[in-house]
Structure 1
C-alpha cells in the first residue's frame, strides 16, 4: 500500500468510524440481492471536519492545511524527507525532489486534490 492510500484510509476510515450505520442486519440480508444492481453512492467525507477533529486532540499546533509535514504528523505517519519523496513519486511530481520547499507546497495541494477526486469534500482553497 502506498503512502497516499494510507492517508486516504486514515481520513476516510476515521470518518466512517464517526458515522455509525443505522441499517439493521436483517434488513441488510434482505436487501443484499438488490444492492449489487443499485449500490448507493457513498456520502462525501468532510476532510476538513475529520482533520479538525484530529487536530483538536493532537496536543500540539499543526498547520495541516498548508503543510504536508504537519498533515502527515497529524495522521501519525512518517513525515521524513524520504517518505515525502516517495509520496511525490506516487503522485507523479515532475519537479526536483531536491527543491523540498517547492515539492512540499505541491504535495499538500496535490494530496487534497486527490482526496477530493476520491470522495473527499475538501475546501477549494486547499487545492490551489
Structure 2
C-alpha cells in the first residue's frame, strides 16, 4: 500500500487504530501465513490501497483531534507532517517522507526538508479532502 493510502486508511477508518506493537503473536484475524512471514522478517503480499472512502464525508480534523487526545505524547498534527505520521502510527523518517513526496509528485529539492515537509502536509490535507474527507480550509493552505 502506498504511504498516502496508509494515511487515508487510518483516517477514514479502514484501519481505525495504529498498528499494534509487535508481540510475536499472530494478530486476531490475520492469516497464519502472513503472521509467520512477518515474524520471519518476510514482507507479506502488499495490501491494495482503499478503493474509496467510506460512505459519507469523514471529518478529518475531528478524527485526528480525537486520536491526538488519546496519544501518549503531544503531537502538532495540524502543522507537522512528522507529527501527523506519528499520530497515525506510521513511519515519519526522512526516507518515508521522501517516499511520500515522490508519491505526491513533489518537484522541488528533497534535501530542503523544511520546505518539503510544509508542502507534504498541505498536499496530504488536500488529497484527503479530494478523497472524501472534510478538511478545514486552513489545513489545506
Q: Same fold (TM over 0.5)?
A: yes
Q: Structure 1 stretches of 5 or more lacking a match?
A: 18-40
Q: Is the 8 A contact 1:15 1:45 kept in 2?
A: no
Larger Rg belongs to: 1
Q: Give the whole-Å Cα distance in 2 for the aligned partners of 1:88 and 1:3.
A: 10
Q: Structure 2 stretches of 5 or more lacking a match?
A: 18-53
Give the TM-score normalised by the residue count of structure 2: 0.71
User: Which residue in 1 is equivalent to 2:10?
Assistant: 10
Q: Give the whole-Å Cα distance in 2 for the aligned partners of 1:66 and 1:53.
A: 16
Q: Secondary structure at the match of 1:125?
A: helix
Q: Give the whole-Å Cα distance in 1 for the aligned partners of 2:124 and 2:97.
A: 11
Give the TM-score normalised by the residue count of structure 1: 0.78
Aligned-pair CA distance for 1:14: 6.2
2:92 is equivalent to residue 79 of structure 1: yes
Q: Secondary structure at the match of 1:64?
A: coil
User: Which residue in 2 is equivalent to 1:94?
Assistant: 107
Deviations 1:46-80 (A, max 9, x none): 00111011000002110001100000000000000
User: Which residue in 1 is equivalent to 2:117?
Assistant: 104
- Give the total of aligned pairs: 105
Q: Secondary structure at the match of 1:114?
A: helix
CA RMSD of aligned residues (A): 1.8
Runs of 4+ in 1 over 3 A off after TM superposition: 14-17
